[in-house]
A and B are shown apart, each in its own frame.
Chain A
Amino acid sequence: MSQPLLKVENLTKLFPVSKGFLRTPTDFIHAVDGINFEIQPGESLGLVGESGCGKSTTGRMLVKLMEASSGHVLMSDKTHTDDLIDIANIPNDQMKRFRRRVQMIFQDPYESMNPRRTVFETVSEPLTVQNIGSLKEREERVSEMLRLVGLAPPDAFLFRYPHELSGGQRQRVAIARALVLDPSFVVADEPTSMLDVSIRISIMDLMLKLADEFDVSYLYITHDLAVARYMCDRIAVMYLGKIVEIGDTEEILGNPQHPYTKALLSAVPVPDPSFKREEVEILGGITKAINPPSECRFIERCPWAKDVCRTSDHPPLEDKGDGHYVACHLVESALTSA
């Protein structure tokens, strides 16, 4: 396989659970707990899972909006060498370049724009910060971006304020801003979940088209598997800080292996009343990984847990063929005993 754009190694984020002032915390939420994956240039990886499983925390660490507790995020930097560099060790004089190459799009189109800034100010700000172009060149670039994201004619939008835009239009502005510097990697954190269906598709199509044109890679965060299917080449399923399954989108949806993925998939409502879903059992359980035990993170909710699950550590992600990785003791034994 070619050199990845991004390589995540044992990435971990622990949040202390505060128990009063001046006390050293002893309890930690394992928001992201030793995850590993790669993203290829131009590829879009979907990160799915329930609320609180660590999706946003992962995304924030990848763009350096949050520091990792341990582990590494390595990124390729074609202009220097072919080596991957650890984003934690980027020298100050190269931070600007990093900021230019990675961008983030947030969920809430209402919060992603400063209410006192015009569309032009919002979209041109990254150019200004990076000292790119004259004012006139920036104006041209911003107009071009607005046209690309479907805000045309640009003159009608350049000097509008957020309150003069709809939710869909605001999210288009956020996308224009994220892509104005021609980044190679974008973390999109639920970019369409606050939008109406009819607008959702045009935003998703826009992101796909721009990815194609500019060769952008996405980490696409969503709780909606149907959306992930539409947007992503591969899907990673997260459960309480761990990636439990990862692989090609159609493989994960057509041949899910991990008990959690199966339960998640079977719970997705299907816009087809004649479709009969398979019922997959799942038990109730904790929703926050505070000082989790070393066994499988899913054990409390897993109807199939066996002795091996209780006596072993959390299973590692293992390749079951064709890049389909699963972290479950039983999937492994099922394959070996077959």
Chain B
Amino acid sequence: MSRPLLEVDHLVMNYTTEKGDVSAIQDVSFTLNEGESLGLVGESGCGKTSIAMSLLRLVAENARFDSGEIRLDGTDLLSLTDEEMRQRRWNDISMVFQGAMNAWNPVYKVGDQIREAMDLHFHPRLSNAEVEARISKLFELVGLNPAMMNRYPHEFSGGMRQRAIIAMALSCDPKIIIADEPTTALDVIVQDQILQELKKIQADLGMSIIYISHDIAVIAEVTDKIGVMYAGKLVELGSTREVFARPRHPYAFLLLSSTPSVTGPRRKLAPLEGEPPDLLNPPTGCRFHPRCPYATDQCATDEPPMEDAGDGHQVACWNWKEVPELGGLTK
């Protein structure tokens, strides 16, 4: 099944600011296959949204791509003209933006706002009736009553607004959807319903999805593959099952050890000491070294490369072999 659809290859991106460069994406590589779901997880400020915005080339004006490629079906998106990129956006890759459910324009009907997005981006030009039929179908797909398309955003609950955002992201029939914290502000029951629906839509339409979340439990529910980020770097990448069963990077290990769960034995959690670094002045060597219990002298000076730890499970750490088994978490 799996043909590489999207390849991010040694991507480096900095934000230029008065105080200096913010190193938001540092040498990140990963592949997304057709029909696959990939999760990017990490704490606030580690660069998740920066990666998402880079894939759509919708980064802030002060963003600067210094090296690397983002290849979609073999074409480097960073080398396209603005117009060529505009053609691909929404049609090839679309996005559920972080916090978008609160960004509906209150004075227009929800259906009209989706129609506008389709008018701007959708390739096959559709008649009004066709657009309406399509929105209607999309609403059903995301679990909304099609009649709701003639309602205003304030008549939608939070969960309904997010479903409509997902319908909009699907409107141009993309190959890839990036969902940036798609359920973060929602109650757990609504979150679960939306995640299950996304899973089903993905399977039915054979789409690829990149999920972005700070919540590893959410990522565990919906993805085939997971990338753990720390301070602008991808530090571990592998199948979700593998990474959760046997995290190799000390940060991934501690993140999993410090996540409470309603299942499994009730256990003491291991806190991660310290705080994530300021990306204006990221630590030298391994960016995790000031907080890492496994750090050795080398870690403060040399940046660890991504290394294969078996079964395509990759890790960027000099001492990954020292990281113990995760006791009890997956029993």
Contact = CB atoms under 8 A, between A and B. Distances in A.
A273 B191 contact: no
B273 to A, nearest CB: 7
B269 A201 contact: yes
Nearest to A199: B275
Contacts of A270: 217, 220-221, 261-263
A107 to B, nearest CB: 13
B245 A274 contact: yes
A229 B192 contact: no
A272 interface: yes
A253 B44 contact: no
A201 B271 contact: yes
B192 A272 contact: no
Interface stretch (A74-82, A152-160, A220-228): A220-228
A215 interface: no
A201 B255 CA distance: 10
Contacts of A267: 188-189, 191-193
Contacts of A282: 189
Nearest to B160: A284
B263 A275 contact: yes
Given A197-B214, A199-B275, A205-B271, A273 B241 contact: yes
Pick from A223, A227, A274 the residue with the most CB of B within 10 Å: A274
Contacts of B215: 197, 269
A108 to B, nearest CB: 14
B188 A197 contact: no
B260 A198 contact: no
A152 to B, nearest CB: 12
B198 to A, nearest CB: 13
B43 A225 contact: no
B241 A202 contact: no
A196 B195 CA distance: 22
B8 to A, nearest CB: 23
B157 interface: yes
Nearest to A203: B271
A202 B260 CA distance: 12
A84 to B, nearest CB: 32
A51 interface: yes
B59 to A, nearest CB: 23
A268 B262 contact: yes
A271 interface: yes
Interface residues of B, number: 41
B95 interface: no
A228 to B, nearest CB: 9
B244 A273 contact: yes
Contacts of B266: 229-230, 250
B183 to A, nearest CB: 9
Contact of B189 (A202, A264, A274): A264
Contact of B262 (A168, A197, A253): A253
A283 to B, nearest CB: 11
Interface in B222-264: 240-241, 244-245, 254-256, 258-264
Given A229-B262, A274-B245, A282-B189, A198 B217 contact: no
A226 B221 CA distance: 15
A274 B275 contact: no
Contacts of A224: 188, 260
A202 B329 contact: no
B292 to A, nearest CB: 12
A282 B329 CA distance: 29
A66 B264 CA distance: 39
Given A198-B255, A264-B189, A274-B241, A269 B220 contact: yes
Interface in B187-221: 187-189, 191-193, 195, 214-218, 220-221
B272 interface: yes
Contacts of B254: 198
A267 B270 CA distance: 25
A50 interface: yes
A291 interface: no
B209 to A, nearest CB: 16
Contacts of A253: 262
B258 A198 contact: yes
A44 to B, nearest CB: 14
Interface in B271-308: 271-273, 275-276
B188 A229 contact: no
A314 B98 CA distance: 40
12 contacts: A196-B44, A197-B259, A199-B275, A201-B269, A201-B271, A224-B260, A270-B262, A271-B244, A271-B261, A271-B329, A272-B220, A272-B329
Given A226-B217, A270-B217, A271-B259, 17 more contacts: A168-B275, A197-B43, A197-B215, A198-B43, A202-B271, A202-B273, A229-B262, A267-B191, A268-B262, A269-B191, A269-B192, A269-B218, A270-B263, A271-B244, A271-B329, A273-B244, A282-B189
